[in-house]
Structure formats: C-alpha cells, structure tokens
Amino acid sequence: MKAFFDTNIYFDFLKGRFPKLLYDSYFKKYIIRICPVVYQELIRCIRSGEVKKRVERMTRMVAFLPAPTVEMWKTAGEIAGQVAGSHDERTLESIQNDLLIALTARENGALLITQDKFFRAIQKHVPFQLILHVSEKKQI
C-alpha cells in the first residue's frame, strides 16, 4: 500500500522531534511517496542551505504522487467553507492545502501519516485513510 507523510512529520523529523525508528518503520511497511502539496509546503519554509540539502536527500528517495487535478481543486473549493466551520484559527490557504492533501490520499488510495488532528474533521467530508500521531506535548 502507498503512504505519504504530511508536512508536519517532515518538519518534526528534520528537527529531531519525530522518532527516526518510527519514521524508518513506515518505509518498511508501506510504499512511501510524496504529495506535491506537501512538497510545496516543505520547500517554501527552507531558510538555509543545509536544510535544503537535507530536504533534497529525503525527497530524492521517494517518487511523487500525481499532482492534484482540476477536479480535485474544484472539490477543495466547494467544501472548504463546510470544513472550515468553527475552525477560525485556520487560514483558507491551510484548509485548501489540507483538503488537497486529503483528496490526493483518496484519489491515489494512499495512507496519510500526520500529526494534525484537523484531518479528522476533513474525513467527515472526504473519506481517506489516515494514521494520526499526536504526542501529549504537541496537541494540534
């Protein structure tokens, strides 16, 4: 089965806050891919050459899932307001990206591995497979 990490897993892995053994175990259990939306979120936050090299090494090891289709973009736009609901702290861009990530998981039959509890709310509108890691320290 295909699986991919959400941006927050990559961020925490790069910062040493997501266990390497757990990260590596997913490569043994699943066919790991990268979502283009996640990649875009990841690279836009790069501020140093060293981090850029680390990201390039990490992402060179995996193939990309297909980019969101026009239909996926339309679906994200149509349901963004419903999903936003009382989640005022989230920007529309964040909701849009999360919807595109969820739709990518659904359309590719891939499992999303994340630390973001907001994806549970998205599952009410977009059925997809999810593994949620929420540490006691990091309640999202």
Supply the pLDDT for residue 58.
85
Q: Cα separation of 136 and 43, whole Å?
A: 27
Q: Provide the pLDDT confidence category of residue 50 given band limits of 50, 70 and 90.
A: confident
Q: Provide the pLDDT confidence category of residue 65 given band limits of 50, 70 and 90.
A: very high
Closest CA to 127 of 100, 93, 103, 108: 103
Supply the pLDDT for residue 88.
62
Q: Provide the pLDDT confidence category of residue 136 given band limits of 50, 70 and 90.
A: low
| Residue 137, CA distances (Å) to 10, 89, 116, 117 in order | 17, 20, 13, 14
Supply the pLDDT for residue 91.
74
Q: Cα separation of 120 and 31, whole Å?
A: 23
pTM over the 0.85 mark: yes
* Burial class of residue 65 in the structure, from the number of CB atoms within 10 Å of its CB (0-12 exposed, 13-18 middle, 19+ buried): buried
